[in-house]
A = this chain, B = another copy of it.
Amino acid sequence: MTARQRRIGGWGYEGETMEPSLAQMVWLETRLGPPGTPLRGDNIAAPRVPARRLGDLPAPVSLDARDRLAHARGQGLADMIVLRGGLTGALPDAVCRPTTPDEVQGVLRACASVGAHVIPWGGGTSVTGGVNVLRGDAPTVTLDLENLSGLSAFDELSGLATFGAGTRGPDVESALGARGLTLGHFPQSWELSTLGGWVATRSAGQQSLGYGGIEAMTAGVELVAPAGRLDLRAWPASAAGPDLRQLVLGSEGRLGVITRVTVRARPRPEAHLVEGALVPSFDVGAHLLRTLVRQGVPLDMLRLSDAAETQASLAADATPTILRHLLKRYLGLRGIGDEGCFLLFGASGSRRAARAAIWQTRRMAWREGGALLGAGPGRHWLRDRYRRPYLREALLDRGYATDTLETALPWSALAAARERVGSAIAGALADTGERVVVLCHVSHVYLDGASLYFTFFFRSAAAQETLRRWATIKRTANASLVSAGATLSHHHGVGQWHAPAYEAEVGLQGRALMAAMARHLDPQAVLNPHVLLDARDHMEE
């Protein structure tokens, strides 16, 4: 465990910040108008919500007000607005930190017997309302898994490592790194989130092109449910019936509590290279991504910003004027104008193999009319890869709100969906006269399609009104994802906020099947009952 204190009502750890540059503030003001009401994150007080009695829980319990507040909500923008605006009306009645799977089972049993709900908690970084306590709900215990952590078994020859579900990203990597291995799973939340949380939400890391998503790394898993314990063993492959691990992956605490995960680790790569380029347009860039992945060029990351995101990055960049001028000339010579799109590409492995993949990508980008930017942008990105969420809090302090959402589609639907979903978000507050700025990038590519990641900005107001603006945008976005034929989420999950559209995602029968599994494993609906299957809109709660 780290001694650093987690921030409440903001991302990450106390003391860490990422401030917007003057250029970024000018950029926002030009597009959205002057700042709105700041929603400041200092002095967030725990509301006086008395803890309801739950009887004896057979595991360490905390009733501390600040601990309860710290476990009231995840890390979505709405959570920040609610916490900063003093709108928090619900806290868990207890924070419980079991030390064994038996204690987990005992807590589930105890809660079932008194009609209480249990919300499993890993790093608490859900951005979909996945760990939120609802006002007016049954008594609720948040089950923080931090005591179920660390490496418990290691099979060197097979590269199989078994961890407690509550093990955080850096602790997973340091345990494996000491053995010459890596998991290769680096989501933006990596410093805070846990292995169990990754499995529960079908997380995808930034280098998933090379390493796969968490579902490819998960060899074995233990799930403790009210109905009993599911212990799925680590085989490299099996055709003995459906892959039940895939039910645990993405179960979001609704089917059981993930207590233990066995992962497939691989040799730590000798080199990890990341370079940048600008390509003439989004369409050219998307064509390049598709070609790279279909030709099997062994990269581990591909990321393409649209023109708006590219312009925003350039505006925010602190590069000296003389260099900017040179860059502009270079781009001019390559015929790249305002439609230019920023491309980032990375490769891992032996130095030789990584270099070869980077060279091949450079060559192909050049042939498509791209301008190569070398390793500088890669260094920049690597430095900030886990820090960007801190910027959101700094903007809220200054009167602007920002959030993200993401999806995935086949290649054939990508360009149209980017337009459609982007336009829908941009116009979501038109009735109120407020503007929304939308940026987009592709961050995960596949043989048959890619993800789209939208970042949007709008002005904050008083907390309740800001929450209303956010919910309006979110509802609009959900509807436009559904009508564009896009999945509700590539890697953020369903949680509470996408749940109203879950039936559109998997169909009536898909939802009914999921509900049947939940009924079997958790007949009294003790576990996180408002995610996935609760179709009511809890966005403004």
Contact = CB atoms under 8 A, between A and B. Distances in A.
Contact of A294 (B159, B514, B519): B159
A410 interface: yes
A211 to B, nearest CB: 10
B520 A512 contact: yes
A508 interface: yes
Given A160-B448, A506-B244, A349 B235 contact: no
Nearest to A181: B294
Contacts of A237: 204, 213, 408, 444, 446, 449, 451, 487, 490-491
A203 interface: yes
Contact of A247 (B230, B247, B349): B247
A66 to B, nearest CB: 31
Interface string A368-411: 00000000000000000000000000000000000000001111
A249 interface: yes
A3 interface: no
Contacts of A110: none
Contacts of A502: 240-241
Interface stretch (A28-36, A85-93, A338-346, A492-500): A492-500
B230 A241 contact: no
A157 B229 contact: no
A234 interface: yes
Contacts of A250: 239-243
Given A155-B410, A241-B494, A242-B514, A447 B236 contact: yes
A510 interface: yes
B236 A508 contact: no
Most chain B CB within 10 A, of A234, A236, A241, is at A241
A479 to B, nearest CB: 15
